[in-house]
Structure 1
Amino acid sequence: MERKPCSRGAQLGLWACLWGAAAVASLQEEPLPLFSQVFFCQRDSPFFGLAQVLDGDQLFWFDFPSACWQSRLPDFQPEVPSRMPLGNVSTQQELCQRLLAIFTNLSEEQLPEAKGIPQVDVFIRHPLELGKANTLICSVSNLFPPSAVITWAQNGEPVTQGVSTAPVSPVGGLKFELFSYLEVTPRKGDVYSCSVRTPGDEHNGLAYWVPNDPVPSDFLETLACGAAIAVGILFVLLGSILIAKSHMSQRTE
């Protein structure tokens, strides 16, 4: 029996079906938001940590000294039923301490200690204006175990005033991140540094930040106006050339 080729309409219908199936498959493959709760204990400070995270972004963390939940963003309400009750937190603390002692005795001097190499970066929160108050942010990523001491310095001198450090935050796997903030008034010639030391390490992670001269806003406005005028003149010239060529071709004909 002779087979007839598919009509163009049938081919289009087949392609539409395949495209629709691919679109449904791609929608099904999109990852769903991942909400996780991370509890840890260790021999170095902070000795305990508890956080609730959505897609790697910390939403809430438990303040163990104050025995209460805290929210990373002020608009969030930490004291709601979805937070772990205080009684359960105490139970988790005891269990974690017991497991830590057991695994420490089993692995000490037999297994190498897992460690991450902290990556340190310093950046400014708001656009730089020399002589105006701003905030420097020291970001520490790839932190494991989740323990580190951050120190700030200005022109080589230690700085302790205007410093605040957030609790460590889990970001997935065995990685944590840490942020420290320094209130500053940048001036020309200043050199700021953020130093990170982890337990047992002889060398610090270090990052510097130097205020570069910002471009004055009035200069940017003048530059933008000049560029706009130049573009306008260019279009006028192109239009005049096209009109002249059109007239020349009409005369030739």
Structure 2
Amino acid sequence: MVLRGRLVLGLHTLMTLLSLQEVGAIKADHMGSYGPAFYQSYDGAGQFTYDFDGEQLFSVDLKKREAVWRLPEFGNFAYFDPQSGLVSIAMIKAHLEDLVKRSNGTRAPNVSPRVAVLPKSRVQLGEPNVLICIVDKIFPPVINITWLRNGHPVTQGVTQSSFYAQPDHLFRKFHYLTFVPLADDFYDCKVEHWGLDQPLFQHWGTEPPPRYPPQTCASFTLNPFAGPPDPPFLSQSPRCPPRCLTPQGLWSVPSAWSLA
């Protein structure tokens, strides 16, 4: 799917415990906040979030019209009426045209996202696992993410998170794929975004046949002694598209890099 259209964001933050302009010498142990919330003209999508100590607890999606907890267990200890979030999104939508006029229709620049793929736990052939596609530095929050297995789209066993706001006003998103690793299988996380000239493919698994022309792709190197992998870098390779190869097969990913 080709991403087209105009996007305008309305962001607001309402501190629910303390206003930073009024606290003076008062210090708070914890801070809760409503926001950011946004509505975008593209695809009529919107999202409302609630953060606690800088971490998102839940979000309300305009299309699903329900509160989605970041972890299902959070819903056992608290309740939030999604109607409150939908009202906030509606307020942003109502003022959208005014915001466009005040900015003279100036668009914010598109940011190229960064992509990495990691397994949830240590990989063992034939044992069920989960692949996690981490897409970072997203702006605007309009993106298509697709899983490929051996070059073919996969739709079963796929889930995703909402957009997580970051301190730099960019967004992060997670896509998950439940799979059973086999020796000859390889996977790709395909990302389409306005900040990319063409789709970006992050490869994971065994090396596919070198029969594709050069294309931009992302890759990263794993070093078991240097901590988590660095952000992916763009490269040109006649062997990688439409899959991007890593320097080594990722079936032997060190357990230190798995995500709990």
TM-score normalised per structure 1: 0.63
**Residue 223 of structure 2: aligned partner:** none
1:126 and 2:124 matched = no
By how many angstroms is 1:46 displaced?
A: 6.5
**Residue 62 of structure 1: aligned partner:** 60
Identity across the alignment (%) = 28
| Equivalent residue in structure 2 for 1:145, among 140, 144, 156 | 140
By how many angstroms is 1:116 displaced?
A: 2.0
How many residues are aligned here? 184
**Residue 154 of structure 1: aligned partner:** 149
**Residue 108 of structure 2: aligned partner:** 113
Considering only aligned residues, what root-mean-square deviation do their CA atoms show, in Å? 2.9
Looking at structure 2, the residues matched to 32 and 154 of structure 1 have their Cα atoms a distance apart, in angstroms, of 46
**Residue 48 of structure 1: aligned partner:** 46
Residue 204 to residue 56, structure 1, CA distance change in 2 (3 Å): farther
Cα pair 1:121 1:140 within 8 Å, conserved:
yes
Looking at structure 2, the residues matched to 183 and 46 of structure 1 have their Cα atoms a distance apart, in angstroms, of 29
Q: Deviations over 1:165-196 (max 9, x none)?
A: 12112122411111101111112232211011
Looking at structure 2, the residues matched to 153 and 203 of structure 1 have their Cα atoms a distance apart, in angstroms, of 16
State the AA in 2 paired with 1:36. S
1:35 and 2:32 matched = yes
Runs (4 or more) in structure 1 with deviation over 6 Å come to: none
**Residue 180 of structure 2: aligned partner:** 185
Structure 2 residues without counterparts, runs of 5 or longer: 1-24, 206-248, 254-260
Looking at structure 2, the residues matched to 205 and 55 of structure 1 have their Cα atoms a distance apart, in angstroms, of 33
Pairs within 5 Å for 1:1-253: 33-38=30-35, 39-45=37-43, 47-77=45-75, 80=78, 83=80, 86=83, 88-107=84-103, 111-199=106-194, 201-210=196-205, 212-214=250-252
Q: Deviations over 1:130-180 (max 9, x none)?
A: 121111000011111111110111121121221111211212241111110
TM-score normalised per structure 2: 0.61
Q: Per the alignment, in what secondary structure is the counterpart of residue 73 of structure 2?
A: coil
State the AA in 2 paired with 1:143. I
